[in-house]
Amino acid sequence: PGGFTAEFVRHDFPILHRTVNGHPLVWLDNAATTQKPRQVIEALTAYYGAANSNIHRGAHTMAREATEAYEAGRAAVADFLGAPGPDSIVFVRGTTEAVNLVAQSWGRADLGPGDDILVPVLEHHSDIVPWQMLAKETRARLVPVPLTPDGEIDQHAYAGLLSSRTRLVAISHASNVLGTVPPVKEMTALAHRYGAKVLVDGAQAVAHFPVDVQDLDADFYAFSGHKLFAPTGIGALYVRPDLVSGLAPWQGGGNMIESVDFGHTTFAPAPHRLEAGTGHISGVIGLLAAVNWLTSLDRESVAAYEEGLMTYALQALATVPGLDLIGSAPDRIAVLTFTLAGHDPTTVADWLDHDGIAIRAGHHCAQPALAHYGLTSAARASLALYNTSAEVDQLVASLRRLQQST
């Protein structure tokens, strides 16, 4: 449907036309970070070349222009996530900072001894460690939700772990290590029955399929710009409107206050009270360009293309002797994590790099998920909308050569 192919967008990405080690670049490390279209690069150049200014203060034309662009970014992110309005969007450095913000601001105020935080074993460290730190501080309990053998969240176990003690469930909308896309909407509805809040980590989701935070009924939704074709150092946290105004500031400084004297400070309304200091203005401008670029495409058709490419890649990889794919959830994105018999993952990544193919090797910041498979390290190829079946063929051919070389 829609007939999207990678060729529609590849010319937008200058970096995809470079070579690495004498070979055309094959970028299959999209779960780590995506490449940037020229629309994003040009927006950054235009901002620094002609429009640089601080925002929210200073009564001059350029301050006003920068403020408008920054707030247009907030409105665009709200639309992109299906949020009811811009005031429910907080700009952060990325998903990690978003989770820490929720832990420190909401969590510190609301959690105490006897409370449970439920976190699937599948999660990225950034959706485990902040909760572990918070649990230690508040004497709440961090409860892992187990996985099934194919890498799905065990829904039976989840239902059994929920109770009136559960205050928070933190789930990824797509796993960065197994690609699993859990039934977040259903899990959220179940959590809400117990009065728990739900944080959804959308870091791996937003680039792959449309997200509607109101349809999910999420309380918090976080993502990183750099995995969404935007610059590093910028991301967003959606907070449900009835929660956002009650969130206590977590960092103090400029931009987040209404008035300050040495006895007392009053804070600006949300979301500004949660954004201390000068924001990442160019980051927001880049994010705005990225969101505009992505939403100019027919996203259903992009998702259908990615699904077709993933099916192709799964079948092609399965033909490589000694290759074991980790995780086989039916609902998934194209994060293809594998081991290759006789070669450690770092050797595999090095070999592919000599052929200009970029993948990641290691623990993927998800040690508990890999441990579920008895692994400490694996190789991971992760696809994006600009990847092609020819690139998948190159990956497979290179892996076959590695197997034949030994």
The vertex-32 CA angle with 4 and 339, nearest 5°, equals 95
Confirm if 237 and 229 have CB atoms less than 8 A apart.
no
Of 96, 138, 180, 339, the one binding ligand PMP (CB under 6 A) is: 96
Q: Which is nearer to ligand PMP, 119 or 396 (CB)?
A: 119
**DSSP calls for 357-382:** EE-EEE-TT-HHHHHTTT-S-EEEEE
Draw the binding track, 131-170, toward ligand PMP (x: CB under 6 A; -: no contact). ----------------------------------------
- Sole window of 88-96, 144-152, 307-315, 348-356 interacting with ligand PMP (rule: CB under 6 A): 88-96
Length of the chain measured in residues: 406
Stretch that binds ligand PMP, among 141-149, 201-209, 241-249, 268-276 (CB under 6 A): 201-209
Nearest to 43 by CA among 73, 9, 86, 10: 73
**Residue of the chain from 365, 393, 397, 400 that contacts ligand PMP (CB under 6 A):** 365
Out of 172, 339, 382, 387, point to the residue binding ligand PMP (CB under 6 A). 172
Catalytic residue at 255? no
Q: What are phi and psi of 27, to 5 degrees?
A: -90, 105
* Catalytic, out of 365, 367, 377, 388: 365
Tokens of 342: 């006789």
User: Which of 74, 124, 240, 360 lies at the binding interface for ligand PMP (CB under 6 A)?
Assistant: 124
Instruction: Determine if 180 is a binding residue for ligand PMP (CB under 6 A).
Output: no
Interacting span for ligand PMP (CB under 6 A) from 181-189, 198-206, 298-306, 381-389:
198-206
125's tokens: 């460290």
Question: Is position 224 an interface residue for ligand PMP (rule: CB under 6 A)?
Answer: yes
The site that binds ligand PMP (CB under 6 A) totals a number of residues, namely 14
DSSP 87: G
- Read off the tokens for 151: 């890498």
Measured CA to CA, the distance from residue 75 to residue 46 in angstroms comes to 20
Euclidean distance between CA atoms 197 and 239, whole angstroms: 11
CA distance 29 to 113: 41
Of residues 105, 126, 166, 282, which one binds ligand PMP by CB under 6 A?
126
Q: What is the DSSP letter of 173?
A: S
Residues with a catalytic annotation lie at 365
Q: Which residues bind ligand PMP (CB under 6 A)?
A: 31, 94-96, 124, 126-127, 172, 176, 201, 203-204, 224, 365
